[in-house]
Amino acid sequence: MTTGTLPAGEVRTMFDRIAPVYDVMNRLMTLGLDLRWRRLTAEAVVRPGDRVLDACCGTGDLALAARKAGGEITGLDFSPRMLERARRKSPSIEWVEGDLLALPYENGSFEVATVGFGVRNVADLERALAELRRVLVAGGRVGILEITTPTGLFAPFYRVWFDRVVPLLGKLLRGGAAYSYLPASVRRFPGPGELAELMLAAGFDGVEWRTFAGGIVALHIGRAT
Ligand SMILES: C[S@@+](CC[C@H](N)C(=O)[O-])C[C@H]1O[C@@H](n2cnc3c(N)ncnc32)[C@H](O)[C@@H]1O
């Protein structure tokens, strides 16, 4: 299944361009809740001493949360500008330029893999899940935090927020025009049940999810079989 409509090179260029405003936009878009969601993701899957791959690490906030939970972290991303910002936050974490769709690691290299707001952007979601499974040890854990589309009471508010307010905020910040891409990328992405099915098909079991903020964000966890 292909979820991204932009070629990988364009996605990378887009994130390079967004990098200077990325953290500010996260805080504004989520009213500061994003840090809590990353903390809960890390706490759900990371145990002290685990080797953790945070793929699509961006500016590093989920990797930092995973370290706080006791992991030994490798952060990987294909955008050099996002990685630059991550490095500034913590020079001691290993930050690697690389592609989630072709991870530069041997099978079974990590106890935990996390991805925060990243899988929505990849050109081939099934391949991304298979790569995450491949680099985990059997019994290893995955945590995927991603924006999703709520149903029910919250849906109209969500549509206004993502379709109107977020692109507008993006336009006001230098380099943020690419945020007009966000609503489309969320709409294209599978819902929580479908993502869980894809995780099962990729070799994870015990797949569960919980949602935050009225169903705007979903955390999926699973165990490598
Ligand atoms: C929305 S940001 C998320 C950053 C961070 N995980 C967070 O929690 O804020 C998505 C990141 O995924 C990266 N990315 C997208 N596709 C990728 C791929 N195939 N391989 C590596 N990184 C990728 C982008 O460069 C970008 O930094």
Per-residue pLDDT reduced to its tens digit, 28-40 = 888 899 999 999 9
Best residue for ligand 1 mutational test, from 21, 24, 77 (most atoms within 8 Å of Cβ):
77
Residue 99, ligand 1, Cβ within 6 A: yes
Mean pLDDT of 79-85: 98
> Quick check: CB of 15 below 6 Å from ligand 1?
yes
Measured from the CB, is residue 122 less than 6 Å from ligand 1?
yes
Confidence of residue 43 (pLDDT cuts 50, 70, 90): very high
- Reply yes or no on whether the pLDDT at 2 is more than 50: no
* Per-residue pLDDT, 130: 98
Using the predicted structure, report yes or no on whether residue 1 has a pLDDT greater than 70.
no
Q: 79 CB under 6 A from ligand 1?
A: yes
Contact 215, 151 (CB under 8 A): yes
Q: Is the model's pLDDT at 6 over the cut of 90?
A: no
**CA-closest residue to ligand 1 atom 27:** 58
Phi, psi angles (nearest 5°) of residue 222: -160, 165
For the segment 157-204, what is each residue's pLDDT rounded down to a tens digit?
777 877 888 778 777 777 666 777 777 787 788 999 999 999 999 999
- Write out the chain in H/E/C secondary structure: CCCCCCCHHHHHHHHHHHHHHHHHHHHHHHCCCHHHHHHHHHHHHCCCCCEEEEECCCCCHHHHHHHHCCCEEEEEECCHHHHHHHHHHCCCCEEEECCHHHCCCCCCCEEEEEEECCHHHCCCHHHHHHHHHHCEEEEEEEEEEEECCCCHHHHHHHHHHHHHHHHHHHHHCCCHHHHHHHHHHHHHCCCHHHHHHHHHHCCEEEEEEEEEHHHCEEEEEEEEC
Which of 78, 148, 189 is the pocket-test mutation for ligand 1 (most atoms within 8 Å of CB)? 78
Among the residue ranges 8-17, 132-141, 165-174, the one predicted with the least confidence is 165-174
The reply to whether ligand 1 has any atom less than 6 angstroms from the CB of 82 is yes
Span from the CA of 102 to the centroid of ligand 1 (angstroms) = 14
% of the chain exceeding 70 in pLDDT: 96
- Phi, then psi, of 32 in degrees rounded to 5: 85, 0
Separation of CA 116 and ligand 1 centre (Å): 8
Lowest mean pLDDT among 38-47, 98-107, 175-184, 210-219: 175-184
Distance 128 CA to ligand 1 centre (A): 12
Q: How far is the CA of 99 from the centre of ligand 1 (A)?
A: 9
Judge if the beta carbon of residue 11 lies within 6 A of ligand 1: yes
- Cα distance between residue 138 and residue 16, in whole Å: 34
Query: Which residue CA neighbors atom 23 of ligand 1 most closely?
Result: 56
Measure 155 CA to ligand 1 centroid, in angstroms.
26
* 88/75 Cα distance (integer angstroms): 13
Q: Is the pLDDT of residue 120 over 60?
A: yes
**Looking at residue 66, what is its pLDDT?**
98
Question: Which pLDDT does position 213 carry in this prediction?
Answer: 87
**Assessment of whether the complete model's pTM goes beyond 0.85:** yes
Mean pLDDT within 49-72: 98
